[in-house]
Chain A
Amino acid sequence: MSAPAVTGAKPRRQSLLRRLSRDRTLLLMCLPGLLVLLIFHYAALAGNVIAWKDYKPYIGIADSDWVGWENFQLMTNGDPEFLNAVKNTLVLTLVQTVLVFPAPILLALLLNSVMSTKIKRIIQSVLYLPHFLSWVVVVAIFQQVLGGGGLINTWLRQNGHETLNIIGNPDLFVGLLTSQVMWKDTGWATILFLAALAGIDSTLYEASQVDGASRWRQLWHVTLPGLRGIIILLLILRLGDSLSVGFEQIILQQRAVGMDASEVIDTYVYNHGITGNAWGEATAVGLVKGLIGTILVLAANKVAHIFGEQGVYKS
Chain B
Amino acid sequence: MSELTRRSLIQTGSVAAVALGVPLVAGCGSKDGGDTGKGADGKNVAAPAFKAPEGPKPDIAGDKDIPDTFFKYPAEPTVSVKEKAGDGKPVSILTQTFAPVTAQPPKNTAWANLNEKIGSELKIQQIPAGEYASKFSTTVAGGQLPDMFFIGEVPDMAGMVQATCLDLSDHISGDKISQYPNLAAIPSECWEAGRFGGRLYGIPSPRGAMSSGVVYRRDDLLADKGVKADWGNFQEFFDLAKQINDPKGGRWASTMVPGQYIKNMLGIPNFWKWDGKTMQSWWTAPEMEEAIEAQRKWAQAGLMHPDAFSAPNTKVWFSTGKAYFNPDSFSAWSQYWSDAPKGFDIDVCQIPAFDGNGKGHMWMSFPSFGRSAINKKAGDRVETLLKVANYLAAPFGTKEYLDVKYGKEGSDYTLKGSDPVPTQTGGANSQLGVKYIADARIANYLPGHEDSARKLDASIRKLVPDAYRNDAVYLPSKTVEKKWDEASKTFGALEGDIVQGRKKVSEYRPIADKWWKDYGQKMADELAQAYTDAGRG
Contact = CB atoms under 8 A, between A and B. Distances in A.
Contact of A160 (B137, B140, B248, B486): B248
Contacts of B493: 258-260
Contacts of B486: 276
Nearest to A140: B311
A147 interface: yes
Contact of B311 (A147, A158, A160, A276): A147
B14 A258 contact: yes
Given A58-B160, A168-B309, A255 B15 contact: yes
Nearest to A50: B141
B378 to A, nearest CB: 16
B133 interface: yes
B248 A157 contact: yes
Interface string A103-146: 00000000000000000000000000000000000000001000
B6 interface: no
A276 B487 CA distance: 11
A272 to B, nearest CB: 9
Contact of A259 (B12, B134, B500): B12
Contacts of A262: 13
A276 B310 contact: no
B367 to A, nearest CB: 25
Contact of A258 (B140, B248, B500): B500
B247 interface: yes
Nearest to B247: A157
Contact of B485 (A158, A258, A260, A276): A276
A276 B489 contact: yes
Given A56-B156, A274-B138, A255 B13 contact: yes
B223 interface: no
Interface string A252-263: 011110111011
Interface in B228-272: 247-248, 250
A277 B496 contact: no
B415 to A, nearest CB: 41
Contacts of B13: 254-255, 258-259, 262-263, 271
A148 B156 contact: no
A58 B15 contact: no
B33 to A, nearest CB: 14
A163 interface: yes
Contacts of B489: 271, 276
B163 interface: yes
A59 B137 CA distance: 12
A140 to B, nearest CB: 8
Contacts of B154: 57, 277
B310 A258 contact: no
A167 interface: yes
A163 B18 CA distance: 22
A190 interface: no
A273 to B, nearest CB: 9
B248 A158 contact: yes
The 9 closest A-B CB pairs, nearest first, are A148-B306, A256-B310, A57-B141, A255-B15, A58-B163, A58-B160, A168-B310, A57-B140, A149-B307
6 contacts: A57-B160, A148-B305, A148-B307, A168-B500, A256-B15, A259-B12
